[in-house]
Amino acid sequence: MMSIGNITSAKGAANYYTKADYYSKEEPNVDIKSNWYGKGAELLGLSGEVDMKMFSNILEGNLPNGKSLGRMLGGEFVHKPGWDLTLGAPKSVSLLVLLGGDKDLLEAHHIAVKEAMDYIEQHVLVSQTMTDEGHAFYDVPNSIVGQFTHSTNREQEPHLHTHNVLMNAASTSEEEWRSVYSRPIYNNKMLAGLVYKSKLAELSKELGYTPNWNSEKGTFELDEISPEILKANSQRRVAIEQYAEEHGLETAEEMAEAAMKTRASKKDTPTQEIVDNWEQLAKEQGMDYEKIVAEKSKNRKGISVDKKQNED
């Protein structure tokens, strides 16, 4: 699925995303590096790992080409920083990547994330301005995105997800940069989430897994992990659904409200302790995720995708 969060502080965002939050059983001290993404980032010469000073500057509306975005409001210059478009993997995928060490499945997640972000960039992003005739809209298919991959939810359960920090700056060309009109992003978040899930399911199947779609929820899990194991590793989801049931919440917007109401404070627990807790629970459940991955990898030929896409 894709969730959208407003970024209200450039400094606060820089501090939050600077902290590493990626743990796995196979490599407990690994940190998946951040990266720039989007055609707008390319136009500005931004590539590789995200420089947090540059990240903060762009969130404030100050682009590396010397241009600035914002407006005067009440005698003060203001600029909305941007949005956090988070794409999270199904629980079964998270378990097989983080506890099973399936690097191909991790790659599949990243490819699916990029496909969803490409969809938003190419078909959703617009800028709004006022003319004598009223509102006018311009396509701005050149976005600037800072990507950060994390691996836990608020309960420190395995949850593979990527934060795509979409800057409030996009362009019609190399010279013309505008602020982004956000309503179409919200209107298309379900579709963008489906783009991500569809691609991830397709690639999971290529890797030997069996995606099983839930038509009502519009998502899937891999048959290789039982529903009982999924639930035991999804106490965060259980809490959200319980709150929603108690308060009669059903729609996507209402479920987002339930998620916020049940949101625990971010915990600061040593990496090894998190991994040890995952391993202990897997042992109690009689699960050997590495064995499942090894079995699926025997005759695997890899993922049939454009390698350049994965290198962008």
Q: With contact defined as beta carbons under 8 Å apart, do 95 and 158 qualify?
A: yes
User: According to the model, what pLDDT value does residue 70 have?
Assistant: 86
The catalytic residue positions are 16-17
Most confidently predicted of 113-122, 151-160, 210-219, 255-264: 113-122
Q: How many whole angstroms separate alpha carbon 138 and alpha carbon 214?
A: 37
pLDDT score of 199 more than 50? yes
pLDDT band for position 27 (50/70/90)?
Answer: low
CA angle 121/123/126 to nearest 5° reads: 75
pLDDT score of 26 more than 50? yes
pLDDT score of 25 more than 90? no
pLDDT band for position 254 (50/70/90)?
Answer: low
Q: Report the range of poorest mean pLDDT among 71-85, 101-115, 260-274.
A: 260-274
User: According to the model, what pLDDT value does residue 63 have?
Assistant: 96
User: According to the model, what pLDDT value does residue 144 have?
Assistant: 98
pLDDT band for position 300 (50/70/90)?
Answer: confident
User: According to the model, what pLDDT value does residue 136 have?
Assistant: 85
pLDDT score of 187 more than 90? yes
pLDDT score of 312 more than 50? no
pLDDT band for position 308 (50/70/90)?
Answer: very low
Q: What is the pLDDT of residues 270-294, one digit of tens each?
A: 667 888 888 999 999 999 999 999 9
